[in-house]
Amino acid sequence: MSKVIWGGLVTFFAMFVIVFYVAYNETAFVATDNQNALDNGTRNALNQSVNMGHLRVSEEVTIDPEIAKEALVRNYAQSVNYRDGDRFLNIYYLTDQPIIATDAYTSLEGSTNFTKKEETISRSRNVYIIEAKKLNR
């Protein structure tokens, strides 16, 4: 009888470890996907919204905020690999200067929770700045 009890305990422990491992990896994948999508979307949006006419004339980098907003939403949506759950994108700072501060949330409903449905939220923040190097002519 003792071998049956130990076998049951080992089997229960192994199942617990497997379920925990799967839940942790799913959460880590969603967090990494959210961070990569926010990084790519912010960087590409800022690069696409540079006002090239002003750059050619005065050699100063300025961006168009409306184009940056549209490009950020489009690029963030295209960069996402994990489609389950809700996503929220916030833009905190955006002016004609080449700086943008963004924040993104991803909610993931627990698929491995047995007792109740819990929601895990992954948050990513990003500040992207284009700086000019001082050049002497």
Contacts of 47 (CB under 8 A, 6+ apart): none
- The Cα 89–Cα 14 span in angstroms is 39
Entry pTM: 0.73
Q: What is the pLDDT of residues 50-64, one digit of tens each?
A: 888 877 787 777 888
Q: Which residue has the tokens 């003792």?
A: 2
Confidence label for 29 from pLDDT (cuts 50, 70 and 90):
confident
- The Cα 71–Cα 2 span in angstroms is 65
Confidence label for 111 from pLDDT (cuts 50, 70 and 90):
low
Per-residue model confidence (pLDDT) at position 15:
92
